[in-house]
Amino acid sequence: MLLSTACFTVMNVFVKYLAHFSTPQKVFFRAVGSLIFTMSYLMYYKIPILGNQKKLLILRGLVGVTSMGLFFASVSYLSIGTAVSLRYTSPIFAAILAVIFLKEKIFKMQWLYFVLAFIGVLLIKGFSSEIDITGLVLVLVSAFFSGLVYVVITKIGNKDHPVVIVNYFMWISTILGGIFSINNWISPIGSDWIFLLSLGVFGYFGQLFMTKAYQLGSANKIVPLKYIEVVFTMILGMIWFGDSYPLLSVLGIVLVVISLLLNVMYKQKIKA
């Protein structure tokens, strides 16, 4: 899980570094880089690429690319650490959407944790103009669609291979990212190629290491380590971009992470 968070951290920082490229173009390269791995895997193991539940798989891809695109756009307005921490509010949206579409139940303690996380978001925004409202809206809508991804994947269940699900996501992201970047395409020069293609590589291995972590350890011990990504990203953002965080924002980020971490641990305790 630590390797996974390191990979996602590097990918996030590269997204911020590549600010001179449009969001659709970054989505395109993020998807192409991972598509190489997913297609190779499916072809090597002779797994049917089209899957079984095509409508749901397409929906998962559309919802996923929307979330990714909005997150990539938000980092142009927010420090990368703030953007990542706010995107972690997705479990709140996932839980609420699961109640509506999957008839799942939210326990009283979870509502408490969600309220605390929301207070954390308000603290991050603060009462000044230090946090851009456009970036805040973009990343929270991204978190909403990320929560919706959970609902769609739950609907898909075990009837389709996990790599098939990811492969649909990558294909749809590649197609839409390519189409929307045609009118404002910027030709990469020199090291730009390395950074752009690395988005997909680090994204893929981040996902791979996270999956392996869940396979090797118990979720209640593994999931908390995922939130170290926020710390890694904040540190790297301060080193690379000179990001600074007001005290209120730091307290807000800590409150968001702790609240959602407690929610994860509480859910695991209930399941046990």
Residue 128 has pLDDT above 70, yes or no: no
Query: Domain containing 155: what range?
Result: 2-271
Q: In angstroms, what CA-CA distances link 149 with 68, 86, 94, 109, 210?
A: 11, 17, 8, 24, 17
Residue 154 has pLDDT above 80, yes or no: yes
* Residue type for position 114: F
Q: What residue spans of the chain are helical by DSSP H?
A: 2-17, 23-44, 54-74, 80-87, 90-101, 108-125, 133-156, 162-180, 192-216, 219-226, 228-240, 247-271
- φ, ψ for residue 113 (rounded to 5)? -65, -35
Instruction: Note the pLDDT of residue 218.
Output: 61
For the chain, the domain total comes to: 1
> How much of the chain exceeds pLDDT 90, in percent?
69
Residue 202 — very low, low, confident or very high, per pLDDT cuts 50/70/90?
very high
Give the integer Cα–Cα distance in Å for 98 and 207.
23
Mean pLDDT score, 225-249? 88
Residue 180 has pLDDT above 90, yes or no: yes
With b meaning 16 or more CB within 10 Å and e meaning fewer, what string describes 76-102?
bbbbbbbbbbbbbbbbbbbbbbbeeee
Residue for token pair 């397409």: 58
Any idea which of 30-34, 122-126, 135-139 has the lowest mean pLDDT? 122-126
Structure token digits, residue 3: 């390797």
- φ, ψ for residue 51 (rounded to 5)? 70, -170
> How much of the chain exceeds pLDDT 70, in percent?
95
Mean pLDDT score, 79-88? 91
Beta-carbon contacts of residue 169 (< 8 Å; ≥ 6 apart): 31, 60, 61, 64, 65
Mean pLDDT score, 17-25? 96
Instruction: Note the pLDDT of residue 266.
Output: 86
Mean pLDDT score, 190-200? 95
Instruction: Note the pLDDT of residue 223.
Output: 67
Q: Pick from 257, 261, 249: which is nearest to 123 by CA? A: 249
Any idea which of 57-61, 109-113, 160-164, 263-267 has the lowest mean pLDDT? 263-267
Instruction: Note the pLDDT of residue 172.
Output: 98
Residue 195 — very low, low, confident or very high, per pLDDT cuts 50/70/90?
very high
Mean pLDDT score, 120-142? 83
Give the integer Cα–Cα distance in Å for 192 and 2.
27
User: Mean pLDDT, the chain, as a whole number?
Assistant: 90
